[in-house]
């Protein structure tokens, strides 16, 4: 899943990381829990935090997209979902979120789910729960989750190879964990490969 830049593939019994690079090994245990965390998450607590070069200014209107795709193994067994849900810039202090202060020359960009996206995530959570609970759906299916952030990666040459750290929070009580590290150039390259 090249376009999903926090590379996760979730199924009813197994989480398999895709071939994309940049996923810290220490994050694997948390990534293994993403399916149950997403189904139980309060959408108001879901956040994405990007630590970037302080000179990086995302293009106007560019935001990360929460991508959720659920496909039944047997067509028509339950509602298939293929959604890109926009996040919004969130005004919050990194210290109150439990994020470390950025090093000199770096800053955090914090994104949360706006009210319409929260409502759609709740609807998707209900669809997934119903599909899992229905005995007719024994064939199962797959659930993939990710965050596309390539629209934020500027093309300014001086910043193309600066460090880009992506952190995610599904539940406030569990805090943020790092899910991807790379550069804006890598983000743009992965997005181009997907098209």
pTM of the model: 0.80
* Measured distance CA(13)–CA(75) in Å, rounded: 19
Q: What 3-state DSSP class applies to 67? A: strand
Return mean pLDDT, the chain: 79
How big is the CA angle at 178 (ends 22 and 7), to the nearest 5 degrees?
A: 50
Instruction: Give percent above pLDDT 70 in the chain.
Output: 78
Is residue 49 a contact partner of residue 108, using CB atoms and an 8 Å limit? yes
Return the pLDDT at 144. 81
CA distance 188 to 149: 9
Give Dmax (Cα) for the chain.
56
| Tens of pLDDT, residues 21-71 | 565 555 555 655 666 677 788 999 999 999 999 999 899 889 999 988 888
Strand, coil or helix: 36: helix
Closest CA to 87 of 114, 123, 50, 121: 114
The highest-confidence range among 1-5, 21-25, 50-54, 153-157, by mean pLDDT, is 50-54
φ/ψ of residue 126, rounded to 5: -65, -40
* Per-residue pLDDT tens digits for 104-148: 999 999 999 999 999 999 999 898 888 878 777 766 788 888 889
Least confident of 21-30, 76-85, 125-134, 162-171: 21-30
The pLDDT score that the predictor gives to residue 33 is 64
pLDDT of residue 32: 56
């Amino acid at each position: 899943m090249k376009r999903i830049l926090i590379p996760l593939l979730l199924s009813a019994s197994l989480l398999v990381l895709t071939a994309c690079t940049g996923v810290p090994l220490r994050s694997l245990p948390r990534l293994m829990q993403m399916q149950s965390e997403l189904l139980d998450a309060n959408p108001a607590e879901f956040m994405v935090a990007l630590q970037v070069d302080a000179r990086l200014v995302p293009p106007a209107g560019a935001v990360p997209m929460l991508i959720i795709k659920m496909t039944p193994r047997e067509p028509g067994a339950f509602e298939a979902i293929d959604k890109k849900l926009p996040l919004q810039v969130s005004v919050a202090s990194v210290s109150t979120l439990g994020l470390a202060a950025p090093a000199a020359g770096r800053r955090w960009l914090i994104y949360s789910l706006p009210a319409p996206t929260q409502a759609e995530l709740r609807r998707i959570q209900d669809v997934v729960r119903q599909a899992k609970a229905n005995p007719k759906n024994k064939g199962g299916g797959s659930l993939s989750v990710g965050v596309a952030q390539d629209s934020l990666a500027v093309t300014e040459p001086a910043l193309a190879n600066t460090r880009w750290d992506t952190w995610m929070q599904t539940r406030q009580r569990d805090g943020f964990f790092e899910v991807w590290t790379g550069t804006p150039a890598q983000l743009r390259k992965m997005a181009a490969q997907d098209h």
